[in-house]
Amino acid sequence: MIYLDHAAATPISKKVLKKMEPYFLHDFFNPSAAYMPAKKVNAKYEAAKASIAHTIGAKSSDLIITAGATEANNLAFTAIKKPQGAKKVLYLETEHDSVRQIAQKYGGEKIKVHSSGIIDLNDLKNKITDETELISIALVNNEIGTIQPLAEVSAIIRDVKIQRLKKGIKTKLLLHSDASQALNLIDINVARLGIDLLTMNSAKVYGPKGVGALYVSHDAKLNPIILGGGQENGLRSGTENVPGVIGFAEALEEAKKHLASNRKKYATWKKVLLKELHDYELINKKHTLDNFIVICYNRIDAERLIFLLEEKDVYVSTGAACAASKGVRSHVLKAIGLSDTQIAGSLRITLGETNDESQIKKAAKIINEVVEKERERIKNAG
Among 38, 322, 359, 365, the one annotated catalytic: 322
- Give 78-123 pLDDT, tens digit per residue: 998 765 555 699 999 999 999 999 999 888 999 999 999 999 999 9
pLDDT of 319 higher than 70: no
Domains in the chain (CATH in brackets) are 2-10+259-381 (3.90.1150.10), 14-257 (3.40.640.10)
pLDDT value of position 119 = 98
What do you get for the CA distance between the two ends of the chain, in Å?
33
Q: Is 322 a catalytic residue?
A: yes
pLDDT band for position 7 (cuts 50, 70, 90): very high
pLDDT of 74 higher than 70: yes
- Cα torsion angle, 81, 83, 85, 86, sign: positive
Q: Is 82 exposed, middle or buried (0-12, 13-18, 19+ CB in 10 A)?
A: exposed
pLDDT of 252 higher than 70: yes
Query: Torsion-angle region of residue 228: left (phi > 0), alpha (psi -120 to 50) or beta?
Result: left
In eight-state DSSP terms, residue 358 is H
- Give 33-72 pLDDT, tens digit per residue: 999 999 999 999 999 999 999 999 999 999 999 999 999 9
